[in-house]
Amino acid sequence: MTSRLNPYLGFRDDARQALEFYHSVFGGDLRIGTFAEMGAVQDPADADKVMHGQLETTRGYVLMASDTPASMSRSETNNISMSLSGDADDADDLRGYFAALSDGGQVLEPLTRAPWGDEFGMVTDRFGVTWLVNVTATQPAPSA
């Protein structure tokens, strides 16, 4: 079996809305299980919260998320960002993701040519998740 490293986003109580938004951006297969459906309700207020949600896209992205039950503490952090990168073949998709993630969010850095030659931008989406999008510049053909 192949090991994988996947982002797992934690929310207080809007994981379903976030996952549905990401599904609208990236497409793919979205599965959501609530605390009630998984038989893990300790507080009735948590019954409909997301215990585990997973979005698998046709591009191979896997994004997971859950809500935090009322009995657990949750701290806000800003030291984690999501990165989407690709080459010129992926440019249209990456630009589209950037535009969709910007809807209702805040563009921190417009998607423009960066000092290292690639196209780069940063956006914090409506759920407070920061995304870094990089389109690798086309390399010139070697001279003969």
CA gap 23, 17 in Å, rounded: 10
* Residues forming CATH 3.10.180.10 domain(s) in the chain: 8-67, 81-135
| Residues 107, 121 contacting (CB under 8 angstroms) | yes
CA gap 75, 127 in Å, rounded: 15
CA gap 141, 111 in Å, rounded: 25
This prediction has a pTM of: 0.84
Phi, psi of 25 (to 5 degrees): -80, -50
pLDDT of 79 strictly over 70: no
- Give the chain's mean pLDDT: 89
Q: Distance from first CA to last CA of the chain, Å, rounded?
A: 44
Phi, psi of 120 (to 5 degrees): -140, 145
pLDDT digits (tens, 9 = 90+) for 30-57: 999 999 998 888 889 889 999 999 999 9
Average pLDDT over residues 63-81: 82
pLDDT digits (tens, 9 = 90+) for 89-132: 999 999 999 999 999 999 999 999 998 889 999 999 999 999 99
The fold of 8-67 is 2,3-Dihydroxybiphenyl 1,2-Dioxygenase; domain 1 (3.10.180)
Average pLDDT over residues 74-97: 86
Nearest to 88 by CA among 121, 28, 141, 134: 134
The fold of 81-135 is 2,3-Dihydroxybiphenyl 1,2-Dioxygenase; domain 1 (3.10.180)
User: How many alpha carbons lie under 13 Å from residue 82 in its C-beta half-sphere?
Assistant: 21
